[in-house]
Homo-oligomer: A and B are copies of this chain.
């Protein structure tokens, strides 16, 4: 049988065939590998936070993560969550969505890259994109202003293909 692609392709939103359990499992495995290789510790707490961020393809707030941890019969405080998030960000295992004050799992960990995101205002899901042309255009635009970009933030809010075609979110003419 043709295997179901558990890891989402770049720039795509999960569809009906998406096996999220598998998706998370794979992300965890990758994270483990990366941390081992780098000699950094993916502790139990960090792993839990990572799993909670990966609970869906929607960006997740820090306090949502906190609640998730607390549901597990622990009494965790905000700093614990923020420290774990900070670690995961530093390792490139998750990204922060600035426009939402929220976090989302990286679909291409291990690769140094600036995340670009498509964020659907209807279903709330976000898809990561790595578009060379966008990067190139940004570099060029900045360069001609004599500006040296270190940390680009590209977050594109709108409607995903699915939400465009279905539903009442579509009350606009085009």
Contacts and interface: CB of A to CB of B under 8 A. Distances in A.
B153 A98 contact: yes
A14 B130 CA distance: 32
Interface centre among A134, A149, A150, A164 (most CB of B within 10 A): A134
Interface in A124-163: 127, 129, 131, 133-134, 136-138, 140-142, 144-161
A43 interface: no
- How many chain copies does the complex carry? 2
A137 B142 CA distance: 14
A11 B154 CA distance: 17
A145 B12 contact: yes
Contact of A158 (B116, B136, B142): B142
A70 interface: no
A121 interface: yes
A80 interface: no
12 contacts: A98-B99, A98-B155, A99-B153, A118-B142, A138-B154, A148-B164, A149-B158, A150-B157, A151-B157, A151-B158, A152-B154, A152-B155
The 6 closest A-B pairs by CB, nearest first: A146-B161, A131-B141, A11-B145, A137-B137, A150-B158, A153-B155
